[in-house]
Structure 1
Amino acid sequence: TLLGHSAGGTSVDMMHLSPHSTNLFHKMIPMAGCADCRWSNNKNMPQQCIKRAKVLGVTEWKDSEDMLEQLRQLPVDKFEIKFPIRDKEPDVDFEALPLIDGDFFPASFDELRKKAAPKPIMTGVTKEEGLGL
């Protein structure tokens, strides 16, 4: 059984939808999150990463591997995300989101949901839902 709350609930739902992981568990409890949440993924993640790299001072690179190597040289505390993000960096929206690359999720969530084998599910909400947002 997989259980998760908020982003964890989203992860539980995503694990159910992916053909790579759906057979690794039999029951699921996604609390306060699902793959369809607006913050569950970001089609513009590459652009968001470029914006974040520039905010961190990495402004020139040959290719994505070079940018990544430069980012690896920075102290880890530079990557700390403080909420609300919009107050400090208005052009950067929810930074740490999965990128749907076509492998782990070979189709849209709607299509994968139609094909996913049914599993027993228990779900719900919490008293102060979305308080952190």
Structure 2
Amino acid sequence: TVLGQSAGAASVDMLHLSPHSTNLFHKMIPMAGNALCRWSSNKNMPQQCVKRANRLGVTDFKNSEDMLEQLRKVPADKFDVKFPIRDKEPDVDFETVPLVDGDFFPASLEVLRKQAKPKPLMTGVTKEEGLML
């Protein structure tokens, strides 16, 4: 059984939708969120990652692998200082969210939902959810 609340609930739903992970569990408990929430994914995540890398001083790289290698050399405490600065988005702006990449999500979430086999599911809301947003 996989359980998650808010962003964790969206992750539970996404684990169910991905052919790489759907067979790893039998039951789901997504509380106060799912993969359809507007804040749960962002098609602009590659560009967002480049902006965040630039804020950390990683500006000269050939490809995403090179960028990642350079980011691994940045001290961890620098991430905490730089990441609270957020880009203005019309919805809740989480720093990083999943990307429909063609691998873990080989199709759109809508298509994957139609293809996914049903699983036993218990869901609901939580007291004062969204209070910190």
TM range (shorter): 0.7 to 0.9
Q: Tell me the equivalent position of 2:19.
A: 19
Letter in 1 for 2:96: A
Normalising by structure 2, what TM-score?
0.86
Normalising by structure 1, what TM-score?
0.86
Number of aligned positions between the proteins? 130
Aligned pair in 2 of structure 1 residues 7, 82: CA closer, same or farther (>3 Å)?
A: farther
Give unpaired runs (5+ residues) of structure 1. none
Q: Tell me the equivalent position of 2:107.
A: 107
Give identity over the alignment, percent.
73
Describe how 1:58-69 pairs up with structure 2 within 5 A.
58-69=58-69
Describe how 1:48-127 pairs up with structure 2 within 5 A.
48-80=48-80, 85=84, 88-90=85-87, 93-127=93-127
Letter in 2 for 1:129: E
- Please say if 1:46 is aligned against 2:46: yes
Following the alignment from structure 1 to structure 2, what is the Cα–Cα distance between the partners of residues 81 and 6? 24
Contact 2:10 2:40 in 1 (8 A): yes
Q: Tell me the equivalent position of 1:29.
A: 29
- Counterpart of 2:13 in 1: which secondary structure? helix
CA offset at residue 66 of structure 1? 2.3
Following the alignment from structure 2 to structure 1, what is the Cα–Cα distance between the partners of residues 118 and 21? 14
Aligned pair in 2 of structure 1 residues 23, 34: CA closer, same or farther (>3 Å)?
A: same
Give unpaired runs (5+ residues) of structure 2. none
